[in-house]
Amino acid sequence: MKTPRRINKSRALALVRILAALLLILGAAVLAFLVVSRPATAQPTARPQPLTPHFSTALAFDVSPALRNLPRVARPLIYPPDTLLEVRERGPEGPRAHRVKPHSADGALQLFSHVFSPTPTIPAPLLTFEGLSNLDNFNVFGFRVNPPDPNGEVGPNNYVEMINLVFGVYDKAGNLLVGPIDTGSLWAGFPIEDCTDPSGDPVVVYDQLVDRWLLSQFTTRGLNPDGTFNGLPFYNCVAISQTGDPTGAYFRYAFITAQPGTTSTFFPDYPKYGVWKKSYVLTSRDFGSQDEYGISVYALEKNKMIAGNPNARAVHFFIDGNDPDLLPLVGDGLLPADLDGTRQPKEDAPVPIVGTQDDNASYGAAFDALNIWELSIKWKANPEASIVLKTQLPVASFDSIFPCSPTSRDCLPQPGIVDPTQFLDILSYRQRPTFRLAYRNFGTYESLVTNQSVEALPGVAGVRWYEIRRTGGSYSVFQQGTFAPNDGIHRWMGSIAQDKSGNMALGYSVVNGTNVFPGVRYTGRLAGDPLGQMTLGEGTIINGAGVQTTTNSRWGDYTDMTVDPTDDSTFWYVNEYYEVSGLPLPTPTPPLPPPGTTAPWQTRIGSFKLSTP
């Protein structure tokens, strides 16, 4: 184990540094945006340059006590009880897409012959139960946060959920076995203390190939409270369960995000992970301290990590988003393939990495497309790795720029809410697909499904979803659709996956301005159904009964549809909703919140199957 630089600052100060950014004036963020949005140093290149792999080994490693015995790092801080902190509200923002051409009609809008209503065709949930909530944050930290970043995955015996800023382990009946624990405690005692902060953007994935859990978060000590860089490094903190029991001990790793050849530090925002055959793959939206912007792609050496080898390696590529030719090809993020099922990709098959581009947005896309990158990696003594833009797949016209006002996050109305600053964030302007890129090998072809939020009809949010196939190494869009029944309900912040038969489930948030409170629903299709159609109607994980009243408007930033490895058929979905309203209450008054509550978001976990066995 290499000895990292020790950083000795108080826990309270660390929390303040991470989260107290809401105290800053907006002007600082605007200035940061202006500085990084169009750097004068950007040099156009004709085509994507060959990208150089940078290999490293984990900067720190150790073995944790069993999760159920870990000491708790977090100590409640004294805040007014109604304090709500936005996770990393101020900080590097990078480019922000805006509209450059008028609304485009959606070219893959699923048509309904009559007014859409939920049909009995889609099976009801087998089970739903309460996940973690903002009340857990209050109980652990003494304050609440937004957004929640809800995600979780199902394993043989457990469901593990991570949110900002806590996580928990459930059995499959929904009983909480361990937690809620502040995410930093997962790294309690770890040599790189940055990992012990409750920093956020957590991701958990279950690796059914080797029966292990991967839990992760980024670090934020390199950011000042005002979002500027202070010279400290950043890390991706990754914990791998020693066995299939997520309540047991973990092998803990930290991989630095520094880039060779520069003195900049790189903040790895919005990390997303995927399971592959011999690698864990992660992508992040990076901001360098010298105004660099781009997307990082990492592969982590899985076989050594699951063996608890301190010398597990990483390979890192940085794709420069300040290059105007590269910006549309990476946008605001790429998603790594995350393997479902047990049929593995071919030996040495490249890992698909997928982005999305929209010609309505200001990143320079000439047409609407999926951008397919391929990452190749061989973990030899002298490892080899490469990443290439494999192809661009034109897709049916879509429009990711929703009419939001007064800010780009004030988009979707809620019942009783008349102040548009409290409208919910659709987040569709971010030029990227949303978690996950669910991969499945069907033998004669490989299939990838993903989704993004769009303006499906003028002023109506919907979910564009895609099935990409790789056959003999070549990619095509096998089907695509936009799910937005014209029933006055907004659907967004989706996540999609396929079961072993190719049946597809799409979960998402719902809301409207009159009688649909923020809730969680799902739709689906069977493998043989007409292409591009979610044929089964709509099911409900949980109906909302309250509204979000915070003016930061944050929603998501992601949700998670996963597949039970036991039968490879049962879907498990997690998303946020409101059972009671935040304060101040809108009129008419929905259910009353607990005293002092400002943002009582909750999460709900639900399971369902689309076909009987």
CB 552 to Ca ion: min, Å: 6
x/- string (CB under 5 A) for Ca ion, residues 183-212?
-----------------------x------
Which of these ranges, 158-166, 366-374, 448-456, 604-612, lies near Ca ion under the rule CB under 5 A? 366-374
Which residue of 161, 359, 560, 579 would you call a contact of Ca ion, by CB under 5 A?
359
Which residue of 228, 386, 486, 551 would you call a contact of Ca ion, by CB under 5 A?
551
CB 341 to Ca ion: min, Å: 9
Identity at 389, one-letter amino acid code = L
Cβ-Cβ contacts under 8 Å for 611 (sequence gap 6 or more): 499, 501, 503, 526, 569
Q: Residue 410 or residue 557: which is nearer to Ca ion going by CB?
A: 410
Which of these ranges, 190-198, 371-379, 520-528, 552-560, lies near Ca ion under the rule CB under 5 A? 552-560
410 near Ca ion (CB under 5 A): yes
Per DSSP, the three-state class of 185 is helix
CB 209 to Ca ion: min, Å: 8
Which residue of 134, 360, 362, 479 would you call a contact of Ca ion, by CB under 5 A?
360
Measured CA to CA, the distance from residue 448 to residue 436 in angstroms comes to 10
Which residue of 257, 447, 553, 598 would you call a contact of Ca ion, by CB under 5 A?
553
CB 208 to Ca ion: min, Å: 5
CB 336 to Ca ion: min, Å: 12
Task: Return contacts of 402-411, CB within 8 angstroms, 24+ apart.
Answer: 402/426, 402/428, 402/429, 402/453, 402/454, 402/455, 402/459, 402/461, 403/455, 403/459, 404/429, 407/553, 408/96, 408/98, 409/552, 409/553, 409/554, 410/553, 411/461, 411/553
535 near Ca ion (CB under 5 A): no
Which of these ranges, 167-175, 348-356, 416-424, 518-526, lies near Ca ion under the rule CB under 5 A? 416-424
568 near Ca ion (CB under 5 A): no
> Residue 298 forms beta bridges with which residues?
282, 316
Measured CA to CA, the distance from residue 561 to residue 136 in angstroms comes to 23
499 near Ca ion (CB under 5 A): no
Binding residue count for Ca ion, defined by CB under 5 A: 10
Measured CA to CA, the distance from residue 197 to residue 199 in angstroms comes to 5
CB 26 to Ca ion: min, Å: 12
Which residue of 358, 499, 560, 579 would you call a contact of Ca ion, by CB under 5 A?
358
CB 198 to Ca ion: min, Å: 24
CB 291 to Ca ion: min, Å: 27
Q: How far is CA 42 from the centre of its chain?
A: 28
Measured CA to CA, the distance from residue 88 to residue 222 in angstroms comes to 12
Measured CA to CA, the distance from residue 27 to residue 514 in angstroms comes to 35
Q: Residue 358 or residue 576: which is nearer to Ca ion going by CB?
A: 358
CB 214 to Ca ion: min, Å: 9
368 near Ca ion (CB under 5 A): yes
Which of these ranges, 170-178, 226-234, 256-264, 364-372, lies near Ca ion under the rule CB under 5 A? 364-372
CB 103 to Ca ion: min, Å: 9
> Residue 269 forms beta bridges with which residues?
285
Count of helices and strands (H, E) across the chain? 5, 32
Quick one: tokens of 309?
């080898």
Q: Residue 53 or residue 152: which is nearer to Ca ion going by CB?
A: 152
Q: Residue 132 or residue 154: which is nearer to Ca ion going by CB?
A: 154
x/- string (CB under 5 A) for Ca ion, residues 60-99?
----------------------------------------
CA distances from 535 to 425, 461, 528 (A): 28, 19, 10
Measured CA to CA, the distance from residue 83 to residue 225 in angstroms comes to 17
Q: Which residues, 419 to 448, sit near Ca ion by CB under 5 A?
A: 421
Q: How far is CA 345 from the centre of its chain?
A: 24
Return the HEC string of 326-356.
CHHHHCCCCEEEEECCCCCCCCCCCEEEEEE
Sort strands 474-483 and 446-457 into parallel, antiparallel or unpaired.
Answer: unpaired
Asked if 222 and 233 count as a contact pair (C-beta separation under 8 A), the reply is: yes
Q: Residue 377 or residue 401: which is nearer to Ca ion going by CB?
A: 401
364 near Ca ion (CB under 5 A): no
CA distances from 546 to 45, 582, 586 (A): 50, 8, 10
Which residue of 37, 56, 57, 104 would you call a contact of Ca ion, by CB under 5 A?
104
Compute φ and ψ for 137, nearest 5 degrees: -60, -45
CB 2 to Ca ion: min, Å: 30
CB 403 to Ca ion: min, Å: 14
What is the enclosing helix (H) or strand (E) of 27? helix 26-37
Interface contacts to Ca ion, rule CB under 5 A: 104, 206, 358-360, 368, 410, 421, 551, 553
